[in-house]
């Protein structure tokens, strides 16, 4: 844990003099990492041994070790956190906040994913007769993107962002087909129905959704992408980006499973675009 947070947490477990030290440190941690124990003691109006005891109470070996921890906490000042956009933010501010929140969500999403489930999903996808990606709203974009990736693999792949097409397609599915259903909330009724229809028709259903939702219950495998709710502006933001990163993971897993020869093929697909582009000069 970040040592600055730790100091804040343990503030009331400290003695009077130790708290003085804590306050001086919290007031300007940046200065402290360049101070000797004597200088800090003087600043806080207490003795050197007190500083030393303070350091030990925070589970560090002593003052120099404490400074090391402090320096680490200060580096990159708590990397990425979900900071909310404020009414009066400048363009620079809200840009930074959004990018940072996005990164924080990706961090979170990665933690919620289970490598085993990914492995099993990749297994199923590589063996599938047909792959379908279904999503609605923002998740439709993710399904669309998945199609854009998987069609390169030369496997039958479809994507639908239309409820009726999804239903019809689900009813038509059979053993050996894989249906990937994407929904952040996992509560969209028609999608849950589609998942259950596909399952009834013997398709394997992979859900890209939040843990414990109605959709998750209908799936054979759940790839849980838990990100903090996108409450800021009532629009899906981080959730779809985390889902897209997961699509990248699945696509990558797919190509790795297929071996190096297969990857040459991907290069050909890409190279086929060359004539439609302006040449690079470099």
By CB under 8 A, the residues from 67 to 96 that bind a copy of itself are 67-69, 71-76, 79-80, 85, 87, 89-92, 94-96
Q: From the list a copy of itself, DNA, none, which binds 116 (C-beta under 5 to 8 Å, kind-based)?
A: a copy of itself
33 or 172: CB nearest a copy of itself? 33
- Contact between 206 and 223 under an 8 Å Cβ cutoff? The reply is yes
Site residues for DNA, 50-69, by CB under 7 A, read: 50, 52-53, 55, 61-65, 67
Does the footprint of a copy of itself cover residue 56 (CB under 8 A)?
no
64/156 with CB nearer a copy of itself:
64
- Asked whether 184 and 210 are in contact (CB, 8 A), the reply is yes
Strand partners, 135: 182
| Smallest separation, CB 134 to a copy of itself (Å) | 15
Residue 67 vs residues 26, 71, 78, 103, 247: alpha-carbon distances, Å: 13, 6, 17, 28, 42
Q: Exposed (0-12), middle (13-18) or buried (19+): which is 221, by Cβ within 10 Å? A: buried
CB under 5 to 8 A by kind: which of DNA, a copy of itself, none does 132 bind? none
For DNA, give the closer residue by CB, 64 or 77. 64
**Planar angle of CA 224, 225, 227, nearest 5 degrees:** 135
- 61 or 84: CB nearest DNA: 61
Instruction: Report the C-alpha gap between 110 and 129 in whole angstroms.
Output: 29
The answer to whether residue 15 forms part of the interface with DNA (CB under 7 A) is yes
Chosen from DNA, a copy of itself, none, partner binding at 156 (C-beta under 5 to 8 Å by type): none
**Interface residues for DNA in 216-245 (CB under 7 A)?**
none
261 near a copy of itself (CB under 8 A): no
Structure tokens at 159: 């994507």
The residue count of the chain comes to 282
CA distance linking residue 176 with residue 126, whole number of Å: 11
CB closer to DNA out of 4 and 33: 33
Contact 2, 79 (CB under 8 A): no
Cβ proximity to DNA: between 37 and 198 the closer is 37
Among 9, 28, 31, 36, indicate the residue that binds DNA (CB under 7 A): 36
Q: Could you say whether residue 217 binds a copy of itself (CB under 8 A)? A: no
Q: Is 12 in the site for a copy of itself (CB under 8 A)?
A: no
Token look-up 């699945």 returns 250
Please choose, from the candidates 8, 52, 241, 26, the residue with its C-alpha nearest in 3D space to the C-alpha of residue 142.
Answer: 241
Binding residues (CB under 7 A) for DNA: these are 15-18, 36-38, 45-50, 52-53, 55, 61-65, 67
């Amino acid at each position: 844990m970040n040592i600055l947070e730790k100091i804040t947490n343990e503030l009331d477990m400290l003695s009077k003099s130790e708290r003085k030290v804590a306050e001086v440190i919290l007031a300007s941690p940046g200065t402290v990492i360049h101070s000797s124990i004597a200088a800090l003691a003087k600043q806080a109006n207490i003795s050197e041994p007190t500083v030393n005891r303070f350091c030990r109470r925070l589970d560090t070996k002593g003052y120099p070790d404490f400074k090391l921890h402090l320096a680490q906490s200060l580096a990159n000042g708590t990397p990425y956190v979900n900071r909310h956009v404020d009414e009066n933010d400048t363009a620079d501010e809200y840009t930074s906040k959004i990018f940072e929140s996005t990164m924080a969500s990706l961090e979170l999403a990665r933690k919620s994913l289970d490598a085993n489930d990914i492995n099993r999903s990749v297994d199923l996808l590589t063996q599938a007769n047909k792959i379908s990606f279904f999503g609605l709203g923002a998740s439709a974009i993710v399904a669309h993107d998945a199609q854009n990736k998987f069609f390169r693999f030369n496997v039958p792949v479809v994507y639908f962002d239309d409820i009726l097409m999804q239903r019809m397609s689900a009813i038509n599915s059979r053993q050996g087909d894989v249906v990937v259903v994407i929904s952040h909330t996992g509560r969209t009724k028609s999608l849950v129905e589609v998942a259950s229809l596909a399952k009834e028709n013997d398709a394997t259903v992979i859900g890209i959704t939040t843990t414990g939702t109605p959709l998750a219950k209908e799936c054979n495998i759940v790839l849980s992408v838990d990100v903090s709710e996108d409450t800021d502006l009532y629009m899906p933001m981080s959730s779809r980006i985390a889902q897209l990163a997961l699509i990248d993971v699945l696509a990558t897993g797919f190509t790795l499973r297929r071996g190096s020869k297969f990857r040459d093929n991907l290069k050909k697909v890409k190279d086929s675009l060359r004539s439609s582009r302006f040449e690079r000069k470099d």
